[in-house]
Amino acid sequence: MAFHSVIMAGGSGTRFWPLSRRDRPKQLLAITGDRTMLRQTSERVAAVTPPARQWVVCGTRHEAGVRAELPELPAAQILVEPIGRNTAPCIGLAALHLCAVDRDAVACVLPSDAFVPDAAAFGRHMQAAEAGAQAGHITTLGLRPTRAETGYGYIRMAAQQSAHGGLPLHAVDRFVEKPDRATAEKYLADGSYLWNAGIFVFRAAHMLEAIERHLPALHAGLQKLQAVLGTPRYADVLREVYPALPSISIDYGVMEKEPGLYVVPSTFPWSDVGSFAALPEVLPVDAAGNLLRGDVLARDARDCVVDARAGRLCAVVGVQGLIVVDTPDALLVIPKDRAQDVGKLLDVLKERGKDQLL
């Protein structure tokens, strides 16, 4: 029963425009250090799943970038979606391929663009989750909340069921949607609610059975693909079948309905790095709280994020709480508290026909 990892790398990373572009999204950028987020994720899981047992699911537009970034992965283990259909089809496709090589395979599925600096702690939690999966339970990692966060979904844990390596495994009571501020405060005070980090561990065959129970239309499409796996017809059938699959997240489609789920409460540092405003949480700042990258001259500036790696000087004077991102063909200036709105600019660019900036 081999342990594999499946890295989901299909996101577009629109909230990191203008650094992130259609052909080079967040996971293919060095957002949180000198290595891309995809590379950091692959290195993080290497302790429990070496490259020979790592898989990546990505879109056609990003296939070349993924292969160039992770050349050590077997070519057949980079699975290419002809169109993005959310996480349930992505995970189902990976489970299908895993079962084809090892019917007893256990898989960890995780996003490619989260920041987890403590790889050793992450590995210990993954091994605990693997034990839960081997015992027949789809198992997730839930992060102990450090603040009343309204941008994440939550998992309510129930009684402890077992333990592995000193880490407890609890039954999952339920998954809950992103809360409002008052509800998030209650969750934080309650102590039984964890952030849903989108990290799941399961036997691949178990996941396909769960998809059959809860998402029959997706299962039917996967069956058509299973019939042609390893044949010259696979690529054509994938292009025909995949766009018609239901676009639904694994949380809505399976996790909220499947009984017997386990969760490992986790305390290692973690951030989904959802926007430029999150970067000061994971990268060093100066005495005034500024995160400055590149050739930046800051005077009387506080609590700013300035990324000026376009090869020219960027000066900020007498400002507070700004994000400034300078690239060769676009400049972004936005208040930090509006960082989530960056992605909306892409709709305007599309309307104006500026596809070269997307």
pLDDT tens digits, 41-90: 999 999 999 999 999 999 999 999 999 999 999 999 999 999 999 999 99
Q: What pLDDT is recorded for position 278?
A: 94
Q: Establish if 271 belongs to a structural domain.
A: no
Answer yes or no: do 78 and 214 share one domain. yes
Do 345 and 229 fall into the same domain?
no
pLDDT at res. 13: 81
Q: What is the pLDDT of residues 185-198, one digit of tens each?
A: 999 999 999 999 99
Q: In this predicted structure, what is the pLDDT of residue 12?
A: 82
**Which of the residues in the chain have pLDDT under 50?**
none
Q: Which two tokens stand for residue 285?
A: 């700042």
- Decide the pairing of beta strands 193-203 and 154-164: antiparallel
For residues 169 and 263, the answer to whether their CB atoms sit within 8 Å is yes
pTM: 0.95
- Is-contact 278 271, C-beta < 8 A? yes
| Closest to 112 measured CA to CA, from 43, 50, 60 | 43
Name the phi and psi angles at 252, rounded to 5: -65, -45
- The reply to whether 119 and 9 lie within a common domain is yes
Q: In angstroms, what CA-CA distances link 234 with 59, 74, 223, 250?
A: 16, 18, 12, 24
Task: Check whether residue 81 and residue 61 sit in a common domain.
Answer: yes
Task: Report long-range pairs for 312-316 (Cβ below 8 Å, ≥24 apart).
Answer: none
Name the domain boundary from 243, 266, 289. Answer: 266
Q: How far apart are CA 288 and CA 246, in angstroms?
A: 48
The distance from CA 23 to its chain's CA centroid, rounded to whole angstroms, is 18
What pLDDT, on a 0 to 100 scale, did the predictor assign at position 297? 97
Q: Which residues pair with 339 in a beta bridge?
A: none
Q: Would you state the pLDDT for residue 191?
A: 95
Looking up residue 136, the CATH number of its domain turns out to be: 3.90.550.10
The whole-number pLDDT of residue 228 equals 98
Q: Total domain count for the chain? A: 2
Name the CA dihedral angle for 135, 140, 145, 148, rounded to a multiple of 10 degrees.
-130
| Full residue range of the structural domain in which residue 136 is found | 3-266
